[in-house]
Amino acid sequence: MARMIGSLLLLCGLQLVVGDVCPDDVEVDLCDTNPGEFSGSMGMTPNLTLLLIVLAFALPGRAKSWALLLPAVVLPSAVAGLSCGDVKEFYKTNQCCGSATMKELGTYPGAPTCPYNFQKPACSMAGPQTPRDLTANAPGDKVPKAITLTDTQANSLPLVNVHFHLGAEHKSEAYSDGTDSDAFDAGRRLATTGTVRPGWMCPTSSLNSTQLQAYTFQYCKGQVEVGKSYEIHYVHSSAGMDANDTDDVNADSLSDGLGGAANGRGLLNPMIVVQGQIFQIVNGAATVDDMLHGWTVVGHTDSVMYSGSTTGTSHDNSVCSPYAITWHVDKACHQVSPESFDNLCKQMKEMYGMDSDLYPHGSRILVDKQYVVKSEFVVPLS
Ligand SMILES: *[C@@H]1O[C@H](CO)[C@@H](O)[C@H](O)[C@H]1NC(C)=O
Ligand SMILES: *[C@@H]1O[C@H](CO)[C@@H](O)[C@H](O)[C@H]1NC(C)=O
Ligand SMILES: *[C@@H]1O[C@H](CO)[C@@H](O)[C@H](O)[C@H]1NC(C)=O
């Protein structure tokens, strides 16, 4: 989410740049003890644009990129009514005076208040997470507070995004080979291994050299290879919109990423269902004509549903996802020809102009049992 405008870090000890009208010597002008000089509203507006730009370059890593976005977003409301006295008061109350070291502070004066906290929750506070271990009787501790949506309900939600992960994020009896993920986690990346974290793989032991022969993909990018398995996610969201906004749920408008799912049409609390299906790319395997428009093109008779969250490698067992999402996951491995898989990427690119989702996403580490639902809440899809 790029909409995090609630807090900007100001730094003590940083030269405040406030243009001609405001004092520019921090220690002398902002920290003097004469209460009359700059207190109260003097109707002077510091050059906050400059201030924010300077701050943006002084800030570390992540905060910097947000701050660079801030002037345009924040200034119109922030500058109005902000006086030098406010800045001085802020500097003082945050005990910057006399502090030579850089110190991170909270919200700057005049900042708009944001009704939402977009910080990702600690797992101890978060709702039930995904991916869950789906092997029989795998334990979990959580009782879901959100209802799990059914297959019929999922089908009333427009498809907003399709993407795939290298390896399965979930684990089932059929996809349980952790050789690649173990190697990745141990830092033993193979020469052929890319940068994304692999998940669980379908077995390759019964495949012969013809079936495993390399294929040159024309449309899929990054680590898409014969023999590897991919968990495709079909994301359905009530915030979705069809191409011509006709309210026809079958006329989907797909795009890269999850922006359409989580904040489409301005909705902040959409209902989301993700259908997950695992495909192993094998030469000579079945041709599937349209893998893009849902998992209906191959059977998914061995599927379960449960309450979870978003996945991906920005979440693990300490930083959790803030979203409550229904999961429908097929526990079988489906073999598919490389041509069919490449055709999925071709459709994504040519029909919807997608690009970043032509690369496989990394797989989130299987979530610890204390952050996933109890096994009684993982039920056959209905
Ligand atoms: C504030 O500083 C910015 C950046 O230097 C400049 O573009 C802008 O004109 C200044 N505004 C005022 C009111 O001086
Ligand atoms: C590999 O397996 C496929 C499918 O069973 C078979 O058609 C093919 O002849 C086999 N190739 C070799 C070299 O064994
Ligand atoms: C959107 O409208 C155009 C023009 O009427 C039509 O060609 C296209 O098929 C429609 N797309 C969908 C997804 O309904």
Mean pLDDT computed over every residue of the chain: 79
- Same-domain check for residues 180 and 263: yes
Q: Is the pLDDT of residue 50 over 60?
A: no
- Based on the structure, what is the number of domains in the chain? 2
The answer to whether residue 157 is domain-embedded is: yes
- Same-domain check for residues 361 and 227: yes
Per-residue pLDDT at 97: 72
Among 199-203, 236-240, 358-362, the range scoring the smallest mean pLDDT is: 236-240
Residue 70 confidence class, pLDDT cut points 50, 70, 90: very low
Which residue's CA is the closest to the ligand 2 atom numbered 14? 208
Task: Give the up-direction half-sphere exposure of residue 13: CA atoms within 13 A in the CB hemisphere.
Answer: 10
Interacting residues of 213 by C-beta distance below 8 A, sequence separation 6+: 226, 283
Per-residue pLDDT at 365: 95
Q: Span 234-262, mean pLDDT?
A: 72
User: Which of 21, 44, 47, 75 to mutate to test ligand 1, by most ligand atoms within 8 A of the CB atom?
Assistant: 47
- Ligand positioned closest to the Cα atom of 54: 1
Higher-confidence residue of 305 and 75: namely 305
- Whole-model pTM? 0.70
Per-residue pLDDT at 100: 61
- In 3D space, the residue among 162, 329, 166, 169 whose CA is nearest the CA of residue 261 turns out to be 162
The amino acid occupying position 155 is N
Name the token pair of 247: 């309210």
The answer to whether residue 123 is domain-embedded is: no
Per-residue pLDDT at 243: 56
- Ligand positioned closest to the Cα atom of 51: 1
- Helices and strands, counts by H and E, the chain: 8, 6
Q: Is the pLDDT of residue 94 over 80?
A: no
- In 3D space, the residue among 97, 107, 109 whose CA is nearest the CA of residue 18 turns out to be 109
Instruction: Please write the tens of the pLDDT for every residue from 362-374.
Output: 999 999 999 999 9
Higher-confidence residue of 300 and 5: namely 300
Interacting residues of 40 by C-beta distance below 8 A, sequence separation 6+: 83, 85
* 350: β partners: none
Q: Is the pLDDT of residue 58 over 60?
A: no
- Ligand positioned closest to the Cα atom of 206: 2
Which residue's CA is the closest to the ligand 3 atom numbered 1? 244
CA 67, CA 17: separation in Å to the nearest integer? 16
The answer to whether residue 228 is domain-embedded is: yes
Name the token pair of 14: 């940083």
Residue 95 confidence class, pLDDT cut points 50, 70, 90: confident
Q: Span 120-124, mean pLDDT?
A: 94
CA 358, CA 238: separation in Å to the nearest integer? 24
- Same-domain check for residues 81 and 188: no
Q: Span 330-348, mean pLDDT?
A: 97
Per-residue pLDDT at 77: 45
- State the closest ligand 3 atom to the C-alpha of 251, by its place in the atom list counted from 1: 13
- Same-domain check for residues 96 and 156: no
The domain boundary residue, chosen from 101, 116, 137: 101
Ligand 3 neighbours, Cβ below 6 Å, are: 242-244, 246, 251
The answer to whether residue 273 is domain-embedded is: yes
Q: How far does CA 81 lie from the centroid of its chain?
A: 36
Print the domain residue range for 87. 2-101
- Same-domain check for residues 249 and 323: yes
User: Which of 159, 244, 247 to mutate to test ligand 3, by most ligand atoms within 8 A of the CB atom?
Assistant: 244
Q: Span 316-328, mean pLDDT?
A: 95
